Amino acid sequence: MPKPKLVETKTELRTNTVAFAQTVPALAASGGTVSDAIGNGCSHAVEWVAFKEGDQWLVAFCKYVGYNNLTFPLYDQLRQTHLTGTDTKRRVEKFGGTYYGVGRDAGISSNHPAVEAVKQVCALFGKTPKRTAKVRVYEQDDRPATMDVVLAAIRAADFTKDELETLFDEVRRAA
């Protein structure tokens, strides 16, 4: 059985995430082997992605939404032998986004709403996120990926208010 193709654009990733988020509640409620496979994916996923849709954060794990034309039954068939979260992680990293820790061992904890959304999806299956789970949040589709990288670096640096003002003054002078 051939391996599905990785996503090529952030738009494809967003489309896959929306489809996952809209379909997964019914799947979780239905039970069965496919539901168990997705629940297992939720509890073992290290990499998640999140997009805002209206007031809601839609989330999905990368090993699923990083591939195009993947269905839940096909995921269940291929997940052990033909799909890898490493490939999808590398691909979605190219689209930017900002990481937030979800699991207790995922670095600095966050109260970002996407973190709670990941926990809620896992809870649909009676699971909790992996302790090293992180969610890559795509705040805005219209800004360059480098801005997400800069923002992540600023957050990681944990600047004081005065240090941030100094940094912003330097950036304004350089612009």
Q: To the nearest whole number, what is the mean pLDDT of the chain?
A: 85
The dihedral over CA atoms of 160, 161, 167, 171, expressed in degrees to the nearest 10, equals 150
Instruction: Place 141 in a pLDDT band, splitting at 50, 70 and 90.
Output: low
* pLDDT-above-70 percentage for the chain: 91
Q: How far apart are CA 13 and CA 53, in angstroms?
A: 14
Q: How far apart are CA 118 and CA 137, in angstroms?
A: 11
pLDDT of residue 143: 57
pLDDT of residue 124: 95
| pLDDT per residue as tens digits for the range 118-132 | 999 999 999 999 888
pLDDT of residue 120: 94
| pLDDT per residue as tens digits for the range 7-39 | 999 999 999 999 999 999 998 999 888 889 889
Tokens of 156: 């990681």
Q: Mind giving me the DSSP string for 70-124? A: --HHHHHHHTTTT--HHHHHHHHHTT--EEEE-STTSSSB---HHHHHHHHHHHH
- What's the pTM? 0.76
Q: How far apart are CA 96 and CA 153, in angstroms?
A: 12
Please report, as a single letter, which amino acid is at residue 134.
K
The dihedral over CA atoms of 74, 78, 82, 83, expressed in degrees to the nearest 10, equals 70
